[in-house]
Amino acid sequence: MAHSAIAARLHPTPVLEAEADSTGRVRIAEECLEVSACSPDELKVLRAWVRRVNGAAFAQPYLVEGPPGHFRLYVGEAAERVRTAQGIQ
């Protein structure tokens, strides 16, 4: 049993969409990972990540806030598509 406990910590089970909806914090969508801040400290950290992750030198990942307190993290082709769409608008 000790082995399975270590394996569970190293490889946690992914959050399923149904579980995420009940907590309201994380949701795995088709194109992105959606995260909602539940405290002012979490909001501060996520907004700091937006500034770091979305630097001009990197095309991806791409982190977007909207509506306030709700963040979406895009990677791969989705990141490039969203970054381009936001640049055009």
Cβ proximity of 63 and 50 under 8 Å = yes
Predicted TM-score of the model (pTM): 0.65
What is the rounded distance in angstroms from the CA atom of residue 76 to the CA atom of residue 63? 12
More confident residue, 17 or 80: 80
pLDDT tens per residue, range 40-70: 999 999 999 888 888 777 778 999 998 999 9
Bridge partners of residue 65, in order along the sequence: 71
Cβ proximity of 74 and 66 under 8 Å = no
